Structure 1
Amino acid sequence: MPAETIESVSLSDGAVLWTRSLRRTGTPAVVFVHGGPGMWDYLAAPAEAVADRFSTHRFDQRGCGRSAPNGDHRLDRLVADLDELRTHFGHERWFVVGHSFGATLGLRYASVFRDRVIGLVYCDGVGLDWPRHRAAYRSRAAARLTTAQLRRRDELARQTRSHAEEVEWRTLCWQPDFADPTRAAAMAGADAVTPLPLNSAANTALNAECDRWAGEAERAACARVRAPVLVVHGAEDPRPREGVDALVSALPDAESSVVAGAGHQPWRERPAEFRALLREFLSGT
C-alpha cells in the first residue's frame, strides 16, 4: 500500500490546512470531513477501511487541530476550503464522507458544488431542524450520566481547566455518545487525551450559523443535491433520528442505514458493519 503523506496546504485567502493523504493512481478519491465544530481529524479508521481501493484525504478544518490559527469561521468559507482542497489534489470529482458537523458541512458542499461530488456519506449528523431536537438530545445524553457526573461536567465547563481537568471534562461530555455503557468512559477517554485544543470560537460561531440555516434554507439545499447520499446513523446515538429521517425524505437520491449497537461513532462500536456499508456505497456509486 502507498505511504500516507502529510502536507500543509495554503488556500487562496492565506489559510493553511493540515492534510494527510494516501494517493492511488487511477482510483476515485474520498475526502473525510471531521465534526466538532472546532475539533480535528479523527477519521483514520474509516479512511483505512477503503484505502485499498480509493485515494483518501483527511484534514483539519481551518483554525482547528494542526491547521494554522484562523478566525474566519463561516460555513461558506469551509465549503470553499473543501473545494480548494479538491483542486489542489487534482481531482475532477470526489466522494465526501462527513461525520457529525462534518456531515452538515458535506451536505452544504454537495448542494453548492453539485458536479464535484460523486456521492456523499452523511454519518451521524443531526438532520433537519436541529434546534427543535436539541433539548431531546441533551436530555438523552444527560440520562447516560450519573447525577455526580453531570454536576462535575457542568462545574468543569465553568472554570479554567488544567490538562487533567480538560481530559476529564471532555470524557464526561463525550461519554454519552457511545452505546455500550461498560465501554463508554474508556472510549470517550481515548478521544479526550488527544493533545490538541478545542477551538471554542469556531464551535460557537459555526453552531450559531447552523441554527440560522436550519429550516427552509436547509431543505432547499437538500433539493439541490444531485449526488446519491448514504445516511448512516448509530441506533444508540443520543441525537434524535427524527431530523435524520426528515433529511432522507428531503434528499432527491438517498438511502439510510441504522447501525444496531452503535452510538455516535459507528466505525468504533460496529467496525465490520460500518466498513461494509462504506465500501458497498463507494464501490457501487
Structure 2
Amino acid sequence: MDDTEPVRAEDGCRLWTDDTGHGKPLILCHGGPGLWDMFGAVATVLSARMRVIRWDQRGCGRSERREAEDRELAVLQWSADFADPATARGYAEQLADPWFGINYECNAAITAEERQVWRETELVTACRGLAVPTLIVDGAQDIRPRWAVDSLQEALPSATRVVLPHAGHVPWLEAPDEFRTAVVNFLCPA
C-alpha cells in the first residue's frame, strides 16, 4: 500500500495523508500546534516492516486551512492571556467576534522592519524624550515577561502605571471596573 490521497473529514475538510507499507499499523502524529508532518524519512525506514500512516493536522502543512479554524486557533492562543482559566475561553471568544482574520504577512513584515529600525538603546532614548503623560495599565497575571512593561515604565519620564492584580494580558475584559477607574482617574483627576 502506498497512498497519498487526501482524506475528507466529516465536515468536508481535506486532510493530507500518507499511508505506506504493509502489516501492523503505526500512526505517526506530528507536533505543533501549527506544524506539519516531518516523518517522511522515518516512514521510509519503517514501511518495509509495517504500515506507516501519517497526516498533516487540520490547517497545517498540506491539509486544508479554513477561516473557522484560523479563528479557533486564535481563540485557543488568546485564552492563555487571561488570569482565570474558567472565564478565559469566553473572553477570547469576545476578542474574536467579529472575526476579520489575522494578516500574518503584515505582522511578519512590520516585525522585521521594527527589528531593523529600532534597537533597544535607540528606542529607550526616544521614549525618554516623550514629555507626555502616559498611562500603563497591565495585569499582574499576564504570562508575558514582566520586564517588557517594567522597562517601558522606566523609559517613559511621565508614566503612571496601574497593575491590576487579578488580570492577565487583557485587563479591560477581566477587570473592567478597575480598568475604567484607572483610565478615568488618569484622564480626569479629582
Q: How many residues align?
A: 137
**Partner residue, 1:239:** 144
CA 1:160–1:284 in structure 2 vs 1: closer, same or farther (change >3 Å)? farther
- Aligned partners of 2:102, 2:149: CA distance in 1, in Å? 26
Q: Does 1:189 align with 2:93?
A: yes
CA distance in structure 1 between the aligned counterparts of 2:100 and 2:107, rounded to whole angstroms: 15
2:129 paired residue number = 224
Are the structure 2 counterparts of residues 178 and 199 from structure 1 closer, same or farther at C-alpha, using a change threshold of 3 Å? same
1:271 aligns with 2:176: yes
Residue-by-residue CA offset, 1:18-58 (whole Å, 9 max, x unaligned): xxxxxxxxxxxxxxxxxxxxxxxxxxxxxxxxxxxxxxxxx
Unaligned runs of at least 5 residues, structure 1: 1-149
Distance in 1 (CA, whole Å) between partners of 2:108 and 2:67 is 22
3-state SS of the aligned residue for 2:69? Answer: helix
Q: Which has the higher contact order (CA 8 A, sep 6+)?
A: 1
Query: Percent of counterpart pairs with the same letter?
Result: 38
Structure 1 residue aligned with 2:107: 203
SS in 2 for 1:220: helix
More helix by share: 1
Query: Within 5 A, what are the aligned runs for 1:1-285?
Result: 151-152=32-33, 154=35, 155=57, 156=59, 158=61, 160-212=64-116, 213-284=118-189
Q: Map Cα deviations across residues 252-278 of structure 1 (whole Å, 9 max, x no partner).
A: 111211111111110100001000000
How far residue 214 of structure 1 moved from its aligned partner, in angstroms, is 4.0
Unaligned regions of 5+ residues in structure 2, if any? 1-30, 36-56
| Structure 1 pair 193–228 and aligned structure 2 pair: CA distance change class (3 A) | closer
What is the TM-score normalised by the length of structure 2? 0.64
Report deviation, 1:157: 5.5
Match of 2:42 in 1: none
Q: Deviations over 1:41-78 (max 9, x none)?
A: xxxxxxxxxxxxxxxxxxxxxxxxxxxxxxxxxxxxxx
Normalising by the residue count of structure 1, what TM-score does the alignment of the two structures yield?
0.44
Shift of 1:237: 1.2
Instruction: Indicate conservation of the 8 Å contact 1:259/1:273, yes or no.
Output: yes
Larger gyration radius, structure 1 or structure 2: 2
The question of whether the paired residues in 2 share the 8 Å contact of 1:171 and 1:185 is answered with yes
Structure 1, residues 88-144: CA drift from partner, whole Å, max 9, x if none? xxxxxxxxxxxxxxxxxxxxxxxxxxxxxxxxxxxxxxxxxxxxxxxxxxxxxxxxx
**Contact conserved, 1:234 with 1:263, CA < 8 A, in 2?**
yes
**Runs ≥4 in structure 1, deviation > 6 angstroms?**
none
RMSD after superposition: 2.4
1:210-241 CA distance string (max 9 Å, x none):
33314011111111101011111111111111
Taking the aligned partners of 1:182 and 1:274, their CA distance within structure 2 comes to 20
